[in-house]
Homo-oligomer: A and B are copies of this chain.
Amino acid sequence: MPTINDVSKLAGVSKATVSRVINNKGKIKESTKTLVFEAMQTLNYQPNTLAQALASNTSHSIGLITSIFDGNYFGVLLKESAKLADQAGKQLIVTDGHHDPQREIEAIDSLVARRCDVILLYSRKLTQQDFKDIKARTSTPIVVMNREVKNNIYRSVWFDHFHASSLAVNHLLELGHRAIACITASVSSRTVKLRYGAFQACLAKQQIAINQDLVVAGDYTIAGGYQACKKIIAQKQPFTAIYAFNDDMAIGAIRALHEIGIKVPEQVSVIGIDNEPFGSFVTPSLSSVELPIKEITNAAMKIALDLANGVPVSPIDTEFRGKLIKRESTTINHASLL
C-alpha cells in the first residue's frame, strides 16, 4: 500500500503539504494541489485511517454495543444507526454485549481502546454503580439507550416500559378481561421487571388477583411463545386473554391456541408489544403496543454525533412512550357478558 511518503516523493512536495491537501486545510497553491491529486491518483493512494486517528486523536468511528440481533427491533436500530453514522462520515463498530454485565463492560473497554469518538450503549445489565465506575475510568462520551442513567453521569434515552405494558394490560381490562394469562421473559432485565410490574399494578388496581399458574416465561421468540402458551393451556385453568411481552411470542401463542381449536379473538384475546411489521398482516391481525424505536435511535445518534463533534448537548434525558395499536386479536370478553 502506498503511503504519504510515496505521494510526496512523486508529487515533489513535503508530506506536510500532502496532508494539507488531503484534509483540505490551510491555503495551498492550485498548481501544487493538482500535483498532489495526480500523484494520489496514479498511486491509488488511500490515507491510512489508523495513522490519521492516532496523529489527530479522532478516529471518526462510533461504537455500538448491543445484545439484540433478532427481529425487526434490532433491524431498525442498526439500519438507522448505520445510516446516520454514514451520513456523518463515521464508521460504525458493532459489538455484542452478550447479555452479561461483565461482557458489556469489556465491550466498552475495547471500544474505548479503539478510541471511538463516542459509544452508543444499548444496555440491559449495567447498574447505576457500573455507569459511575465507567465514567471514572474513561473520558469517552457514552450515550445509553434503553436505560435511564441517573445523576446526569451519561446522557440516556429510554422507553417507559411500565407505561407501554400498562397500555396493553389496561386495554385487556377495559375489554372486560379478568382472567389474563401472561407470557413474560425468562431473561432478567429492567425491561422485564418494569413490564411485569405494570401487569401487577394494573390488575391490583382492579383488585384482581394474579393467577401465577397463568404466568409463564418465554424467550422472546415465536417458538418460545408457542411453548409458553402450551404450558398455559396445560394448566387447565380458565383464561380469556393473553398478554405476551412481545409480538413474536404473541404470534406463537396464537398458533398454539389455533392448534387446539381455540378461536382468537372470539374465545381468547391476545396482545403483544413491539408492533412488528407483520402484526397488521397476519390473521387475525395483532393488537400491540408500538415502541418508537426509530425515533429513539435517531435521538441517541443525534446526541452521540453532537458529543463526538464537541457540540454542547443539554443534560436533559428523554423518555419515549409507546402507543396502543388495536387490531383484530383483541375483543370484548364475551364470557363476562354472560
Could you list which residues of chain A lie within 8 angstroms of chain B, going by C-beta atoms?
A: 1, 44, 46-51, 53-54, 59, 61, 69-72, 74-75, 78-79, 82-83, 86, 91-96, 98, 109-110, 112-115, 137-139, 221-223, 226, 248, 251-252, 254-255, 258, 277-278, 280-283, 285
What chain B residues lie within 8 Å of A74 (beta carbons)? 75
What chain B residues lie within 8 Å of A282 (beta carbons)? 251, 255, 278, 282-283
15 contacts between A and B (CB under 8 A): A1-B138, A44-B138, A49-B113, A49-B115, A50-B59, A50-B114, A51-B54, A54-B54, A74-B75, A82-B94, A82-B95, A91-B114, A93-B94, A248-B278, A254-B283
Given contacts A92-B95, A282-B255, A109 and B46 within 8 Å (CB-CB):
yes
Query: Complex formed: what's the CA distance from A283 to B328 in Å?
Result: 14
Query: Complex formed: what's the CA distance from A277 to B220 in Å?
Result: 12
- Extra inter-chain contacts (19) besides given A69-B79, A255-B285, CB under 8 Å: A44-B137, A47-B113, A48-B54, A48-B115, A49-B113, A50-B53, A50-B54, A50-B59, A61-B93, A78-B78, A86-B98, A93-B94, A221-B277, A222-B281, A252-B281, A255-B282, A278-B278, A282-B283, A283-B283
What chain B residues lie within 8 Å of A48 (beta carbons)? 54, 113, 115
- Measured CB to CB, the closest approach of chain B to A321, in angstroms, equals 25
Given contacts A137-B44, A222-B278, A252-B281, A94 and B113 within 8 Å (CB-CB):
no
Closest to A45 in B: B113
Query: Complex formed: what's the CA distance from A221 to B95 in Å?
Result: 27
Closest to A51 in B: B54
A255 and B226 contact, CB distance less than 8 A: no
What chain B residues lie within 8 Å of A54 (beta carbons)? 48, 50-51, 54
- Measured CB to CB, the closest approach of chain B to A309, in angstroms, equals 19
Query: Complex formed: what's the CA distance from A226 to B109 in Å?
Result: 46
Of B72, B112, B221, the contact of A46 (CB 8 Å cutoff):
B112
A94 and B95 contact, CB distance less than 8 A: no
Identify which of A47, A50, A112 gathers the most chain B CB atoms within 10 Å of its CB.
A50
What chain B residues lie within 8 Å of A59 (beta carbons)? 50
B53 and A82 contact, CB distance less than 8 A: no
Query: Complex formed: what's the CA distance from A114 to B115 in Å?
Result: 13
What chain B residues lie within 8 Å of A61 (beta carbons)? 93
- Measured CB to CB, the closest approach of chain B to A197, in angstroms, equals 29
What chain B residues lie within 8 Å of A138 (beta carbons)? 1, 44, 46
What chain B residues lie within 8 Å of A258 (beta carbons)? 283
